[in-house]
Amino acid sequence: MTVRGLRPLTLLTVLLLAVGYGLAFFWAPLDADQGFRQKIFYLHVPLGIVALIGFVVGGYHGLRHLRGGKPGSDLRSYVAIHMAQIFAVAVLITGAIWGRTAWGKWWSWDEPFLVSFLIVFLLYCCYQPLRLSIDDPRRQARAASVFAVVAGAFVPINFAVVRMANQYLHPRTLTNSTDGSMPGSVAITFLVCLVAIAVLYATLVRYELLSKSTTFRLRALERQAGGDDLIPRRSAVPQA
């Protein structure tokens, strides 16, 4: 992993975030019921979508590792899941804030989307402990890849089941009264914010991959210099 392309990607991320949330605060209309507090929708929902996609991407790279046995695929799977976990924490925090302002309480166990997302998050909280519980790097990578594939397959299934639920308590966004779709300004703003969060995720993944690849190279140089006893060998993937 090299630094090539990171600078323009970083600049693009900053630009998209500035445009997206500039539109959210100064162009998108206020919701008739929720008012200004509805603006958190443009952060909360894109974070949730990108986090779930990140978990699926981790499963994809886990499958590639199982099929090819390349350490690079295991590393990409680890980083994709690790970053998705961070985004998932942000989803739960922003969701609690939105729920507090909309419902008057931080959490509602009657809301299918919230509960299902929490289940996914708690499932992936087992990922790092699983890695740390196995000493052998090859067995560790294989077990982590199996977990990533199974959990990654669970994510879209869980989402589909929740979508089939009949009643939702989740605070609604602005919609047209005719067909239930979002108004044009809301849809455009949401899409720009979604792209911005997706590019932010990709940028952070690139940075973490670069950091961990550099750590691998430094450890390889230390081994060549005879510093094996000073190098922790417990995990095949450097932990954050």
Torsion region of 238: left, alpha or beta (phi above 0 gives left; psi -120 to 50 gives alpha): beta
The closest of 24, 19, 44 to 36, measured between CA atoms, is: 24
Alpha carbon 154 to its chain's center = 15
Tokens 């932010």 -> residue: 200
- Give the pLDDT of the chain (240 residues) as one tens digit per residue: 556 778 889 999 999 999 999 998 888 787 667 777 778 888 999 999 999 999 999 999 999 999 987 878 899 999 999 999 999 999 999 988 888 887 778 887 777 788 888 999 999 999 999 998 988 888 999 999 999 999 999 998 887 777 766 444 455 554 544 455 677 888 899 999 999 999 999 999 999 998 887 877 777 777 777 655 544 554 556 454
Identify whether the C-beta of residue 238 lies closer than 8 Å to the C-beta of residue 216: yes
Residue type, 81: I
Question: Whole-model pTM above 0.85?
Answer: no
The closest of 83, 91, 146, 82 to 117, measured between CA atoms, is: 91
Domain boundaries along the sequence of the chain:
6-168+182-211
Continuous segment of H or E residues that includes residue 219: helix 184-224
Return the pLDDT at 105. 80
Return the pLDDT at 56. 96
